[in-house]
Amino acid sequence: MSTGMCSDSGEDLSERLIRIVGAESVRMNEPMSGHTSFRIGGPADLLVQPGSTDQLRAVLAVCRESGTDPFIMGNGSNLLVSDKGIRGVVIKLCENLGRMGMEGDLLVAEAGIRLSRVAKFAMDQGLTGLEFAAGIPGSLGGAVWMNAGAYGGEMKDTVVRTASLDRESGEMKVLEGTAAHAFNYRESIFMHTRDVLVRAWLRLKQGDPAVIRAEMERLLARRRESQPLDHPSAGSVFKRPAGHYTGRLVEECGLKGYAVGDAQVSGKHCGFIVNRGHATALEVKQLIRHVQQEVFRRFGVQLETEIRFAGEE
């Protein structure tokens, strides 16, 4: 592995990053299989975990100065990394960037915190509106980035403000209101910019904590009953096509349990692909293409992927 470039002082990229975030927060040749819910992925040259917005801004500046365009990730729950891994720098926004609290009547949290933790905090505060998110394994930033949703709820229903860093200038940008975020089904404005989301403000409603808890437990039980939580996966692989349910289309094609190597269409929910133990990214991609081809051949429906792909092909 080569860190690429040196500064005028002779420091290489890894040394410069270590000076910013500390040696414990920079990993070299780091297997991405340990950072994705799929448990798949080759090594990243450098994996960096900033502990504050200031550290993130400094990391972005060092990458920019060295001519490196970093890959930004959250909890890795909606991500398939190639078997060859990711060249250059991966910036992981995780619990190191996970502060949370109340600002007046708004819940504010940093991008790295797990969405499930935000949902529990809301419940403890007697705030309703995030019950749907209790079982979503991703980070808050990732959830806002893709407008994650479940059981009739979406992030767009709660997000009223975000702060993000322009990776070119380091400038902090603030967006206000639903329209400014261009939320759509599994989409937001952040998919179309190079800004790095660092914080979000959520407007929730007052509710009875006991009622909120009961609804969260009901939805968690429903998730356990219907989803293959006993195997690594990246959640729903495909977006829901208009007028259809993905799992039903896949099942009616006779693909329930169909496998390519250790990558398998779940026998519990056909909208999921699971890792039976040693699946490779290539096997998952081959299985995705096969499912898409069969669904299109049978029903004329083109399935679009919901998961994010990264890494060297």
DSSP letters spanning 127-182: EES-GGGTT--SBHHHHHHTT-EETTEEGGGTEEEEEEEETTT--EEEEESHHHHT
Residues β-bridged to residue 197:
164
Q: What is the token pair recorded at 284?
A: 């998952």
* Whether 186 is catalytic: yes
Q: Is 99 a catalytic residue?
A: no
* Closest to 123 in 3D by CA, of 208, 220, 202, 219: 208
Q: Which two tokens stand for residue 169?
A: 């200038």
CB atoms within 10 A of CB 27: 20
DSSP H/E element including 53: helix 53-65
Of 294, 291, 297, 72, nearest to 305 (Cα)?
291
Say which of 186, 199, 283, 294 is annotated catalytic: 186
Is 225 labeled as catalytic in the residue annotation?
Answer: no
Question: Which burial class, exposed, middle or buried, applies to 35 when counting CB atoms under 10 A from its CB (0-12, 13-18, 19+)?
Answer: buried
Single-letter code of the amino acid located at 232: P
From the list 82, 188, 236, 266, the catalytic residue is 236
First to last CA, the chain: 17
Q: Which tokens go with 211?
A: 């009622």
Which secondary structure element, helix H or strand E, spans residue 206, and what is its range?
strand 205-206
Catalytic residues: 186, 236, 306
